[in-house]
Amino acid sequence: TAAGKGLAVTLAMAAGPPPPLEPSPLPTFPEEGFADKFLRKTRENPLVPLGCLCTVSVLVYGIICFKKGNTRRSQLMMRARVIAQGCTFAALLGGMAATAFKSRQ
């Protein structure tokens, strides 16, 4: 019966050693401040901060155009912002893939 099978599995689990109570320790890194980590990450993948800067610049310019009443330019800048965000995201994924590929070798 199903209850008998469940009991057998439970007894088999109880017969083995107990699972560890603590998870495996996380890797430790030397103390690294925000500026050090930012510079290291920027050196690893320089396109991500560049893309973020480009995205923010286009966004700010689009908002300024919107405030001035230039709706055509504002719409163009919002579309450019979406493209810049997409490029930044692609750079982020590319950097992650490169790091994963590098760690496998």
Does residue 91 sit within a domain?
yes
Instruction: Provide the domain count of the chain.
Output: 1
In a domain, 20, yes or no: no
- How many CB atoms within 10 Å of residue 54? 18
Q: What is the pLDDT of residue 11?
A: 57
Q: Is residue 53 part of a domain?
A: yes
**DSSP collapsed to 3 states, the chain:** CHHHHHHHHHHHHHHCCCCCCCCCCCCCCCCCCHHHHHHHHHHHCCHHHHHHHHHHHHHHHHHHHHHHCCHHHHHHHHHHHHHHHHHHHHHHHHHHHHHHHHHHC
From first to last of its 105 residues, what are the pLDDT tens digits of the chain? 555 555 555 555 556 666 667 766 666 667 888 888 889 888 888 899 999 999 999 999 999 999 999 999 999 999 999 999 999 999 999 988 888 888 777
pTM (2 d.p.): 0.63
Residue 56 is predicted with a pLDDT of 97
Q: In this structure, is residue 62 part of a structural domain?
A: yes
24 belongs to a structural domain? no
Q: Which domain holds residue 54?
A: 38-101
